[in-house]
Structure 1
Amino acid sequence: MVLRASLAILASALLLGMYARGGFAVSLGFVALVPWLASVATLPSWRAALASGIAMAMLFALAVFAWFGDAVAAYTGIGTAGGIALVVLAAPLTQPQIVAAALAARWAAGRLGPVLRAVVVAAAWVACEWACPKLLGDSLGHGLQPAAWWRQAADLGGVPVLTFVLVLCNQWLADAWRHRRDASRGWRLPLACALALPVLLAGYGAWRSAQLRALPVEDTLRVAMVQANIVDYERLRRERGAYAVVREVLDTHVGMSRAALDAGRVDALLWSETVYPTTFGKPRSEAGAELDAEIAGFARGAGVPLVFGTYDRDAAGEYNAAAVLDPRDGLLGFYRKTHPFPLTEHVPGWLDGPRLRRLLPWAGTWLPGDGARSFPLRLPGGREVPVAPMICLDDVHPELAREAARQGARALLGLSNDAWFSAHPQGARLHLAVAAFRSVETRLPQVRVTTNGISAVVDADGGIRDATAMGTRALLVGEVAVRTAPVTRAVAWGGWFGPFALGLLLLVVVLRQWPRRSTGNAGQAGLVAAATSWPLATTWLSPRWRWAGVLLQGVAGATLAAFAGLWLFGDASVLKPMLQLRLFVALVALPTAAWWLLRRAHAARAELREGTLHVQGGGRSLRLPVAALDVRPLRLPFPGTGLRVRGEGGDAVLLLREPIDVLHALGRSADLPRGCAAYLAARGRHRGPRWDRAWLRTLLFPLLPAMFAFRLHQHIAYGGTFGEWQTFGATAWLTGAALWWAGWIVGLAVFAAVLRAVVEAACLAIAWGMPTRAATARHVLEGVARAVYYLGVPAWLVLRVLA
């Protein structure tokens, strides 16, 4: 067993090493972990699982990050072997998500079904990466950057979404492999899930890419990026003096910039991080003042904005910064690097001291900046494009780019000094891939310059259109399209997916340990039957009327889903308020009312007497001997849960709350998979509170936020609660109030539909993974959904007003 587990770890490490190099190996992300995960499920103890996770983390670090150990060795002088050994030995701390996934897989094995088992492992992986951020921000999802369609899902919640999908697929394939010889064919469900998920991911990416291409181009921005390939400033200072080095750097950048200006249209110039290695605008000497004036004069003469890396300082200390020079107004301001590199650029105050400085003489003294900042690039011809600079490690932290998008930036400007990657292009490629995802998440194009490569132009879909080589002097003129970027979920909701994964993990663990609740259906092993109280209220439909109900519900549900998709992933402004209201009335309200009338018209009562099922209602009656009855549950709960009854009188559909328990009362067992039976039983058994009625949820509750918002609107627009009444009369005031109420009805109906879809999907997954916890899961999730709806909506409204 030890040999088999070791070979599995080695195989996964080799596959991950190939995957990290990109190119044709991008698809390996979906299978690289399969050998290791398949072996973890067979380990006999927690100690073995922990050891497997630690060993996998160490071999992963060796296969993927050996270059980082060599770079550390070159910087610190500890030797290549020492640097790589440091990276490998620290792997359980720097790659803790692998250890967390091993422990999660060990816990889930034998406790959960294949769907939930994969969810638990993926959630543990992503939650651990969120709770323990990494220095380089690396995650499995970054390897999908070359895949034009797969990477687009990062706009939902960042790279963690892609990592979650990759771990899901790996775990499902591992389960399918382990059960490949089972007589029960337990491999089919995980294999189907693993094959379907990349297809769905690609489908979303294709749709999203088409949306981006359809957005109108409002302007174009041509930026000349100067990659001077002058590195190792400290060595050059020692050999030639500080002034001579600065003189060479400035002369080189000015000369290359003039060449770009002479060659054709250029809207702005971009120089790399710390290209001017002293404080700009606050000179320390007369020579520094002369150099400052020279740079400012060059920007004026060039006639285009200049953004370059320099230093800034105030009373608190000094900062790594980007200066923005306008050709007319001079210095517009500084962006201060928010995330200076630990120890080499910044040392936290609690750690700093003489002893640390003696131990690490290279430790820096820069202070962290205070977050994203946008600047207007005033371009030739009176054009203006808001941009947001980011410096080096800043692009590893997605919240900066998201905040810049919220501030109205139309493009991202990256300035970096990747000179320590000179001998390790793989590190520079990883940094570029990480930076490219900031464009996917925000849908903002990006131009990125580095000291010696890789400088690049990144489109709004994360594609790298133009790039320079490492270790070369290059002038890259890149043009990006400026559009009004759609507000993505990653921008609107921030880094929500990590906490979501943690909550999902805790929910499954708590439900698994929670005392069992009755889930009905004694015909399925391990589930508790419930007594059926006759007579039962039911809806008695012919097959044709059933399909009419399915059609009515389908129209209403599809409309709500379209509204939700447009609001979440599209541009809701294409639907004007009155158009939304008309569509809602025609395609949601009327079909829903028609379905309610249909159910009322076909209401009936069912009763079991002396071995005969009696159904009566609507002037009709049906008597069917149970012994000759062919009765089966509806496999899909459309237009509701129920039974399909076949007898001498023909086919009938009885819609019932508890079809599984009624089957048991009729002496039948559900010919359904265990998870499906548990889902239907738990759904039928659940009873919500009496006050949670459809009319309250749909009509009366929206009146509360509607009147609050309407009153606020009246005060803003007319100066008082009844300002519109006093100005235009009662009819205008009442019409406005009614429209606000109707608008909130539409919005909350869509929100309630989204909550319902989430609850049903979660309940179905839990019923398949933990059938005996299906009723508990529904009880908990329904309560959470009610709290989110009835308490979350007012709280959100109040917070918006206060903000």
Structure 2
Amino acid sequence: MSAMGVRAKRLALLLLGVAGTAGLLWLFGSQEPLWVSAGWVSLVPWLWVLDRATSRRETVLAGVAMGCAFNAALFGWFPGSLQSYSGAPLAVCWLAFLVLSPFMELQFITFALTRYHLRRTTEQSPRAFWRVTLTGALVYVGTEWVSPKLFAVTLGQGFIASESLRQGADIAGTHGLTLVLVIVNACVLEAGRVLMAHGVREGSRRALAPAAAVAALVLVCFGYGQFRYRQVATLEAPRQQLSVGVVQANITKYEKLAAEMGMYDVVRMILDTHYRLSAELLQNRKLDLLIWPETVYPTTFGTPKSDAGAEFDAEIREFVSRGQVPLLFGTYDLEQEREYNAAMFLGPGRNGALERSAYRKTMLFPLTEWVPELLDSQWLREWLPWTGYWKRGPGPQTMALQLGGGRAITVAPLICYESIFPGYVAEEARRGAELIITLSNDSWFSGTPALKQHLMHAAFRSIETRLPQVRVTNSGISALISPTGEVLAEVPDDHRASLAMTVPLSPRVPTLMVAWGDWLGPTALVLSGVLLLAPWVLARRKARQAVSS
């Protein structure tokens, strides 16, 4: 066979391995219990072709291809949503998405290069296998933690569909689940390779160590998950309960509606719809708290920009005063020409006055909500007219909400994108939060897997902090999430409904994620550096000693 034919065959084999892993990861990421087990072998096809690479160039190609395939498999909906938002041609959106994929999934490249290097510089032995496997897994997790990502995706999130396996996230977050998954996949590949090379009789003995590691890790994950699930579920005999009403009006694309109807009529329609749905809830049940979604009031509250805005502000205050129910809703907050995406709380206070407090969103989606000041310019605004003007809030905060009957609760407020950052939510939990409340606007992703993926992130934040969560969106998926990550109640996508939720407030359950934050990523980065540099340092020390002697 010619050299060109050999290269073509190797490329075809590489793409086949990448496609196999991408397909398994797509099944694993579907959040269906049937496909949870696919995660334990999902990387095997790619690892198999990766270990056949004969050069660093081929290794990098394998990493780049895997990053692109991974993003396409899990986020193939994003280019369409980007086109809908920006108006750019779909082909341009796909091109930008694929070009950026290797940078957003840099862990595939660094992992591939680490594995290539160690397999060629480490003497073949059982100890060498464990060094390659552990170092590679740490490099993967460390790189994933430090590299820029739009959606904070990691392999371990696929375990959300397993009641037991997802509970391990309270130790080291979803990165901890990823670390275990990468190690197990490497062990599965090694056991299979040994069996194929040496036959069943001899191979079984040689494959015993990696096979035992697979069994031990899987059993420990299941065992810990069952223990933790039962422990948390037992504590869910609540010391108190909250009755929380949520409104999902399914009114979307405010800008388009404003162009057709005028902004005044749009705000009028939005508020009237929320008043009506809220009144239906209040007629049937006494509520401790009423929640409307992100930017439901699409203008500044408290600092009106017009007479009409002042009238709307007064209406909302009158609604709260008349119903005597505290309201948390999404709006804009203005301070000295700096505008923030905010969650505003209004509650009946002393002497008939309303108490007001606000939380300002900090983690803004790049470009669409926020542009760094160093990049902001008239040229950029003209080229990308859909870029946002909001400013960043002060960081993780809690809100003390005064409820009826003299009761109070401390909540961890989150707005949309913030729910994908485990360290951010852990900091709010560390400040004494008893409940997570997330306001979101997912309308740009309606009808896509993004809605389930965003809900999945929210569920992991409840597991990591062991706090219940009320999630309210304008068009779906609104939900009540338990401290074990179970969705107890929900309003599906593209539905208009109001829902009363009974939220149990249980005793605080300590977790390592709350105590240490998102600790595994930086730890993995440091440990992988030590493991990679230690042999080189030892070799140089021995060389100096040999010269001096």
Question: Same fold, TM exceeding 0.5?
Answer: yes
2:131 corresponds in structure 1 to: 116
Q: Does 1:457 align with 2:461?
A: no
Q: Distance in 2 between matches of 1:195 and 1:2?
A: 34
Give 3-state SS (helix, strand or coil) of 2:161's partner. coil
Partner of 2:155: 140
Match of residue 91, structure 1, among 93, 101, 104 = 101
CA distance in structure 2 between the partners assigned to 1:235 and 1:66 by the alignment: 25
> Is 1:314 equivalent to 2:324 in the alignment?
no
Pair 1:80-2:119 in alignment: no
What is the distance in 1 between the residues matched to 2:189 and 2:527?
21
Q: How does 1:156-167 map to 2 (within 5 A)?
A: 156-167=171-182
Work out whether residues 103 and 147 of structure 2, in 8 Å CA contact, stay in contact via their aligned partners in 1.
Answer: no
Q: What is the CA–CA distance in structure 2 between the aligned matches of 1:78 and 1:363, rounded to whole Å?
A: 13
Amino acid of the structure 2 residue aligned with 1:468: V
User: Could you tell me which of 340, 345, 352 is aligned with 2:376?
Assistant: 352
Contact 1:301–1:327 (8 Å) recurs in 2? no
Residues 336 and 370 in structure 1, CA contact (< 8 A), matched pair in contact too: yes
Report the alpha carbon displacement of residue 421 of structure 1 after superposing the two structures with TM: 0.5
- 1:17 alignment partner in structure 2: 26
> SS in structure 2 opposite 1:36?
helix
* Structure 2 counterparts to residues 131-530 of structure 1, below 5 A: 131-183=146-198, 185=203, 186-215=206-235, 216-315=237-336, 317-328=338-349, 329-424=353-448, 426-515=449-538
Residue of structure 2 equivalent to 1:540: none
Which of 47, 55, 72 is the matching residue for 2:57? 47
**Which residue number in structure 1 is paired with residue 115 of structure 2?**
105
What is the Cα deviation at residue 321 of structure 1?
0.2
Report SS of the residue matched to 1:515: helix
Q: Is the 8 A contact 2:103 2:148 kept in 1?
A: no
CA–CA separation in structure 2 for the residues paired with 1:383 and 1:362: 43
Q: Deviations over 1:430-462 (max 9, x none)?
A: 111011111111111000011100111110111
The answer on whether the counterparts of 1:20 and 1:143 sit within 8 Å (CA) in structure 2 is yes
- Which amino acid is 2:485 matched to? G
Question: Which amino acid in 2 is paired with 1:498?
Answer: G
Q: Distance in 2 between matches of 1:477 and 1:272?
A: 15
Q: Residues 525-604 of structure 1 correspond to what in structure 2 (within 5 A)?
A: none
Unaligned regions of 5+ residues in structure 1, if any?
A: 519-803
Partner of 2:5: none
Distance 1:106 1:480 in 2: 51
Bigger RCO (CA 8 Å, 6+ sep): 2
Q: Deviations over 1:69-89 (max 9, x none)?
A: 111122222233332232222
Distance of 1:117 and 1:222 partners within structure 2: 53
Structure 1 segments of 4 or more deviating over 4 A?
none
Q: CA deviation at 1:113?
A: 2.4
- Distance (whole Å) between structure 1 residues aligned to residue 63 and residue 488 of structure 2: 38
**Whole-angstrom distance in 2 between the partners of 1:466 and 1:438:** 17
Q: Is the 8 A contact 1:37 1:105 kept in 2?
A: no
| 1:2 CA drift (Å) | 3.1
Report if the CA contact (8 A) 1:221-1:481 is conserved: yes
| Alpha-carbon separation, structure 2, partners of 1:332 and 1:350 | 34
| SS of match in other structure, 2:231 | helix
> What's the secondary structure of 2:359's corresponding residue?
strand
CA distance, structure 2, for counterparts of residue 494 and residue 316 of structure 1: 34
Distance 1:114 1:16 in 2: 24
Which deviations, in whole Å up to 9, do the C-alpha atoms of 1:465-514 show, x marking residues without a partner? 22221111122222221023122111111121011111221121122324
Q: Does structure 1 residue 69 correspond to structure 2 residue 90? A: no
Whole-Å separation in 2 of the counterparts to 1:158 and 1:443: 12
Which of the two has higher C-alpha Rg? Answer: 1
Separation of aligned partners in 1, 2:161 and 2:377: 44
Q: For residue 689 of structure 1, what is the aligned residue in structure 2?
A: none
CA distance in 2 between partners of 1:334 and 1:448 (Å): 18
Indicate the SS of the match to 2:195: coil
Partner of 2:4: none
In structure 2, give the amino acid aligned to 1:200: V
In structure 2, what residue type is equivalent to 1:52? Answer: A
Between the aligned partners of 2:216 and 2:538, the Cα distance in structure 1 is 34
Quick one: which of 118, 126, 135 aligns to 2:141?
126
1:280/1:338 CA distance change after superposition, 3 Å: same
Aligned 8 A contact 1:65 1:87 in 2: no
Using the alignment, how far apart are the partners of 2:534 and 2:380 within structure 1? 48
| 3-state SS, counterpart of residue 53 of structure 2 | coil
Give 1:341 deviation, angstroms.
Answer: 1.4
Tell me the alpha carbon deviations over residues 596-635 of structure 1, each in whole angstroms, 9 at most, x when there is no partner.
Answer: xxxxxxxxxxxxxxxxxxxxxxxxxxxxxxxxxxxxxxxx
One-letter code of the match for 1:190?
P
> Structure 2 CA distance, aligned partners of 1:158 and 1:60?
21
Alignment partner of 1:3 out of 12, 15, 18: 12
Does the 8 Å CA contact 2:233/2:484 hold for their aligned counterparts?
Answer: no
Rounded to whole Å, the distance in 1 between the matches of 2:117 and 2:348 is 63
Per the alignment, in what secondary structure is the counterpart of residue 270 of structure 2? helix
Cα deviation for residue 68 of structure 1 reads 0.7
For 2:359 and 2:72, the matched residues in 1 are separated by 36
SS at match of 2:376: coil
Partner of residue 572, structure 1:
none
Which amino acid is the alignment partner of residue 131 of structure 1? V
- 1:477 and 1:26 map into 2 onto residues whose CA distance is 32
Partners of 2:98 and 2:212 lie apart in 1 by 36
- Distance apart, 1:59 and its partner CA: 1.5
Query: What amino acid sits opposite 1:102 in the alignment?
Result: A
Does structure 2 conserve the Cα–Cα contact (< 8 Å) formed by 1:114 and 1:190?
A: no
Offset, 1:182: 3.6
Give the structure-2-normalised TM-score: 0.91
Shift of 1:187: 2.4
Counterparts of 1:341 and 1:72, CA distance in 2: 13
1:577 aligned partner: none
Contact preservation (8 Å) 1:415, 1:450? yes
* Aligned equivalents of 2:474, 2:26: Cα separation in 1: 27
For residues 396 and 331 of structure 2, the distance between their equivalents in structure 1, rounded to whole angstroms, comes to 17
Separation (CA, whole Å) in 2 of partners of 1:448 and 1:190: 42
Distance 1:463 1:88 in 2: 34
CA distance in 2, matches of 1:284, 1:295: 16
Q: Deviations over 1:727-756 (max 9, x none)?
A: xxxxxxxxxxxxxxxxxxxxxxxxxxxxxx
CA deviation after TM superposition for structure 1 residue 516, in Å: 5.8
Deviation of the 1:308 alpha carbon: 0.2
8 A Cα contact 1:260 1:475, kept in partner:
yes
